[in-house]
Amino acid sequence: MGLIIGVDEAGYGPNLGPLAVCATAWRIPSGLNSDNLTKIIPQITAERPGKDEIQIADSKVMYKPGSGIETLENTVQVMSRVSGFHLELASDWHSWIARFDPQWTNQTVEVPWFHGDRELPVTSNPDVINDLSDSITASLAQCGIELIDIEMNLIPAKRFNELLKVNNGKGELLSNASAALVKSLLNRISIGAEESVLVHFDKHGGRNQYLPLLMQTFPEVFIQIIREGREMSEYRWGDGAGLGEGNIQCRFVAKGDRFLPAALASNFAKYARELAMMSFNTFWRHRVADLKPTAGYPVDAKRFKQEIETVQRDLGISDDIIWRQR
């Protein structure tokens, strides 16, 4: 068997709302082509899903503002149940996020728009989710594939701004948050002595060199550069705890969310961010008449910030918990 981990984010560009980073971990049979899993696993597709299918693809393809969240929600809620640790449907969004990000509750104590509950699922049919969960669990078992863990870091504005002070820009912040999730999973998952590990990141901007990041995250091992280039940068090492040298392969790939474990990570990250933005918009729209919701991206974020300014001041809410500095 081989362990594969995919990492991706949602919300890197906005000034409003959290940055969400997620990693998913899978076990697959040795020799199986991990780059082609959507064509191997029945009922999982990268294209528009049929009645008895879910879509796992780039979250930007699966969800656009105004198009509805059902396709994305079906995928995330089904795979939440399929993963071995989360068999029951969460009834509200705080409970759902806390299952994958234990830090979330403590990081949002001072944030009033994250205190209210929103029942889940938002639009999907719970019976459909349950039925798809059962059938996709069977499909994965038929292929000898297992989704074994999911971990997420949903970083609200105040924490984001704090991390900016100890990182050289938000690109480094994202890289460190992504690598930390991988290290957490590798520390938690039991890895066999002969088991190979593939870690797959979507490339962070136009960057090609990731050795300093990996050396900082895994200082106890010698990391070998396989290649560094525009399409892919690839590294290899042992984990210093019994694995043979070179058993862990790590790659950073342009448009890497085509890889199913990274695509699913992007789906979870996007869904978590959208739930957070629903609560954010609901809070302010209840207090500011005729306020249009925002997705949080820079131009519209400035419009939104101006329109809530008077109420924000009256409520004594500081910019630091609303506005991301980068």
Calculate the average pLDDT of the chain.
Answer: 91
Residue range 3-23: mean pLDDT, rounded: 97
Sign of the torsion angle spanned by Cα atoms 106, 112, 116, 121: negative
Q: What is the pLDDT of residue 88?
A: 62
Chain segment 47-84, per-residue pLDDT in tens: 999 989 999 998 988 998 778 899 999 999 999 999 86
Q: What is the pLDDT of residue 192?
A: 82
Split at pLDDT 50, 70, 90, the class of 33 is confident
Among 136-150, 180-194, 246-260, the minimum mean pLDDT is found in 246-260
**185 has a pLDDT exceeding 50:** yes
- Using an 8 Å Cβ cutoff, are 311 and 287 in contact? yes
Chain segment 127-174, per-residue pLDDT in tens: 999 999 999 999 999 999 999 999 999 999 999 999 999 999 999 999
Among 97-101, 208-212, 236-240, 269-273, the minimum mean pLDDT is found in 236-240
SS (H, E, C) the chain: CEEEEEEEEECCCCCECCEEEEEEEEEECCCCCHHHHHHCCCCEECCCCCCCCEECCCHHHHCCCCCCCHHHHHHHHHHHHHCCCCCCCCCEHHHHHHHHCCCHHHHCCCCHHHCCCCECCCCCCHHHHHHHHHHHHHHHHHHCCEEEEEEEEEECHHHHHHHHCCCCCHHHHHHHHHHHHHHHHHHHCCCCCCCEEEEEEECCCCCCCCHHHHHHHCCCCCCEEEEECCCEEEEEECCCCCCCCCCEEEEEECCHHHCHHHHHHHHHHHHHHHHHHHHHHHHHHCCCCCCCCCCCCHHHHHHHHHHHHHHHHHHCCCHHHCECCC
CA end-to-end distance (rounded Å), the chain: 42
Superfamily of domain 2-277: Ribonuclease H-like superfamily/Ribonuclease H (3.30.420.10)
Q: What is the pLDDT of residue 21?
A: 98
Q: What is the pLDDT of residue 94?
A: 86
Q: What is the pLDDT of residue 243?
A: 44
Measured CA distances, 141 to 13, 82, 136 (Å): 38, 11, 8
- Of 284, 155, 302, the C-alpha closest to 293 is 284
Q: What is the pLDDT of residue 204?
A: 80
Q: How far apart are CA 271 and CA 155, in angstroms?
A: 14
Q: What is the pLDDT of residue 19?
A: 98
Q: What percent of the chain has pLDDT over 90?
A: 76
Structure tokens at 134: 């059962």
**45 has a pLDDT exceeding 90:** yes
- Which of 116-120, 144-148, 257-261 reaches the highest mean pLDDT? 144-148
Domain residue limits, the chain: 2-277
- Which residue is associated with the tokens 């790939």? 253
Q: What is the pLDDT of residue 315?
A: 97
Instruction: Give backbone dihedrals phi and psi of 285, rounded to 5 degrees, phi first.
Output: -70, -25
Strand 44-45 and strand 54-55: the pairing is parallel
Structure tokens at 203: 């490339």
Q: What is the pLDDT of residue 177?
A: 97
Residue range 206-219: mean pLDDT, rounded: 94
**91 has a pLDDT exceeding 90:** no
Q: What is the pLDDT of residue 84?
A: 62
Among 92-96, 176-180, 226-230, 293-297, the minimum mean pLDDT is found in 92-96
**240 has a pLDDT exceeding 70:** no
**241 has a pLDDT exceeding 50:** no
